[in-house]
Amino acid sequence: MKLSVIAIAGLLSLASCAPTGNYAVHEKRNGDNRMWTPHDIELDRRAMLPISISLTQQNLDKGYEFLMDVSDSKSPNYGKHWTPEQIKETFAPSAEAVGAVKEWLTSYGIIDERLSVSKSGSWIRFNSTIGEAEVLMQTKYRVYEHADTKKTHIACDEYSVPAEIKSHIDFITPTIEFGAVVRELKKTRALPRRDVTKGSTNGTTKLVGLAVEGPRLALPPPPPKNGPVAQASSPTYCDQYITPDCLRALYGFPVGSLSKSSYGIVEFTPNAYLQSDMNLFYASLATNVPVGYTPTLNSIDGGVNQVTYQGFAYNGEADLDLQYAIALVYPQKVTLYQVGDMVEGASFNNFLDAIDGTYCTYSGGDDVIDPVYPDPAAGGYKGAKNCGTFTPTSVISISYAYNEADLPVAYMNRQCNEYMKLGLQGVTIVTSSGDNGVAGNSNQCCTYQGCSGGWLNAAGASGAFNPSFPGTCPYITSVGATQIVPGSKVTAAEEACTTVIYSGGGFSNNFALPGYQTSAVKTYFKSHKPKYSTTLYNASGKTRAIPDISANGANYLCAVDGVGQLIYGTSASAPTVGAIVTLINEQRIGAGKSAVGFINPVLYANPKALNDIKKGTNPGCGTKGFSAVSGWDPLTGLGTPNYPALLKLFMALP
C-alpha cells in the first residue's frame, strides 16, 4: 500500500542506512525498540518533511567552567551573572560551521532561498521531500507502528553526514527518536492512569507530573480576625498533614515580607489551577495572601489556564504547585508559565524557547518529541511561536519529568546546556527527582542497565534502575522527598519519604559527575557503596548523582476542586525548595546583592547548612533501593533546608 502526502504530514520521525563514500554515521539508535516495529507501508518519496539541523555551538566544553566562575563561592566573580547578549556571543555556532553546512545543502540542490536560519545561527531549517532527504543523509525511511497505541511514525535506525562537517552538526531532526509528548499524570490511589489531554497526543515519550493523590478531608474554616489559626494549620499536627505553617516551623523560614524577587512555576496544559481552589486555600491555610490573588500568567504557545476539564488529574498538580509557592513567598511575584495549547500540549523545550530566543529555531525546529507551533490542528494555537518572549524569573520550579531512558542523548545534552546558560544568567532551576524510588515514571524499570530508546519493562516489574531527566542534568538542583516520622513533632528529624511515594534518586546513565559533587559521591561509594550488581545501576561513581537536596513531600493539605485533598510527591518538595531560595533572594536583593543563581556548588561546599537525613530507603525495581546515610545519599541528597543557616551562608557571599 502507499501512504499519501497528507498522511505523511502527520508522521514526524525518520530512518537511516549505512554511510557511503566520505559519509560517517552521526547518530544511531541503541538497538531495536520493542515497542516500535516496522510497518509494511511503501512511503511516497514526494511527501514533505520539516528538516531541522542543530549546529554545534561554540565553547560548550567551557560551559561548566564559566558557570563555576559565577557560582562557586570561592570565585572572585561569584554572583557576577551574564547578560543574554554575553550568552549569545559566547555560544553561537561559528561562521565556519554555518557556511560549511549550507555549502553541503547547496551541493544537493537545497538552495539558500529554501533555508531558514535562526537569529542565533544555531539552527538551519528547510522542507524536504522524503526522497531528497534520503539522498542527503544517505538514509532510508520506514514507517514504524507502536505496539500499544498503534500510532505510526517515520523513523530510522541511524543517519549519516559528510565526515568533514560532522563536527559542525549537533543533530538533525526528525531522526532516530520515536513519538511526541504524551502528557499524563502519575497513577494515583483513586484514579487509573490515563491521558489527561482531550484527544490524546500522538506518541509515547511521557512527560509526567509528579503529584500523587491522597485522601480527601475537610479544610479548616477561615480563622477569626486577630484570632488563632485553625488547628489544621498548627505545627502540632504536621505529621498528619503539611501546611505552609508546618513548612515554616520545619525549616525555620519566615512569612515573606518584601517584593523584590521573582518565582516561576511551570505547568503544561491541560494541567491548570482553579481560582476557586486558590481562594479556598488562602482563606483557610494562607491568610497572609489576599483572597482573589492570582499569579502572573505568561502564556506560551497558546498556554491557557483551562477550566473545561476538572478533577485531580487536571487540577491537582497546578493547585499544589501554585498554592504553596504563593503562600510561602507572598508578596513576592509568582509567575505561571502555562505551556501549550489544548490540542498539542507542550514540553520542556517549548518552555525554554519562550524564555531564551537564542535557543529556539523560530521555525518549529525542535525534536519531534516537542510539539511544533503554530499548531495547524483544529482548535490549535495559530499565533507565532514564542521565542524569547518572556524574561526568566530568578527561581523556576518544575514538577514534571521524563525517564532518562525515554530520550535521545543529543536531545538531553542540548537541553542540559540550556540550563547551564540560565544558571549563567543567575536563574535557579529546581526539579522533582521522581516518586518511584529507583524506578522511573509509571514505576517502570530498564530492561538492561543503561537502557535507552524506550527499553522499559512493564510498570511494577523488576529491572535495572531508571533515573529521571531533567534532574540528572548537572546544572539543575534535583529535589527529593522526606516526611515527618508519623507520631513525631515537627521539630524531630525527618526521614526519607515512604508514605504513598518513595523519593526518586540514583545515578545518571548519560551525564558525567560534575566537579562540585565529586567529593560527596566519592565518600558515599567509599563508605556506603550498595551491594547491588552493576547490572542494576551505574555503579561507576563517575556519573551525575541525584537528588541534590530534599524537602518534605508527604501529606500536603491542598484545596482541589473545592475540597481538602492530601497530595504527595517530589512535586511538593521542589516548589518548597524553590520558595526557600526565593526568600533568600529577597534578602540578598534587598541588600543590593545578586540573586543566588545556580546553588549546587555552594550547597556541596557547605553541607552543614542542611539537615542531614539518615533514615529511610527508596525501593523500586524489585529491590530495597538505596538507604539514607550520613552525608550525601541517592534518595535525600545533602538533606533538607535549614533556612537560618542557608540565609547566613548566602548573605555572607558577595
Which residues are identified as catalytic?
317, 321, 571
Helix (H) or strand (E) holding 322: helix 312-329
For residue 49, give the 3-state DSSP assignment.
strand
- Tell me the CA distances in angstroms from 202 to 62, 153, 223, 258, one per residue in order: 38, 9, 48, 45
Distance CA 474, CA 431 (A): 12
Is 613 annotated in a binding site? The answer is yes
Q: Are 335 and 254 in contact (CB under 8 A)?
A: no
Distance CA 16, CA 142 (A): 9
Please give the full DSSP string across 225-275, using - where no structure is assigned. TTSPPPGGGSGGGTTT-B-HHHHHHHHT---------EEEEEEETT----H
Is 561 annotated in a binding site? The answer is no
The partner residues of 174 in beta bridges, in order of sequence, read none
Distance CA 286, CA 282 (A): 4
What's the number of CA atoms in the CB half-sphere (13 Å) around residue 212? 26
Distance CA 607, CA 601 (A): 10
Pairing of strands 296-300, 333-339: parallel
The partner residues of 445 in beta bridges, in order of sequence, read none
* Cα 648 versus chain centre, distance: 30
Is 121 annotated in a binding site? The answer is no
What's the number of CA atoms in the CB half-sphere (13 Å) around residue 367? 25
Q: Around Cβ 489, how many Cβ atoms within 10 Å?
A: 12
Is 110 annotated in a binding site? The answer is no
What are the φ/ψ torsions at residue 440 (nearest 5 degrees)? -100, -165
- Tell me the CA distances in angstroms from 538 to 185, 402, 408, 457, 502, one per residue in order: 28, 18, 18, 18, 20
Closest CA to 466 of 630, 629, 622: 622
The partner residues of 483 in beta bridges, in order of sequence, read 495
Q: Which residues are annotated as a binding site?
A: 612-613, 631, 633
Q: Which residues are annotated as a binding site for Ca(2+)?
A: 612-613, 631, 633
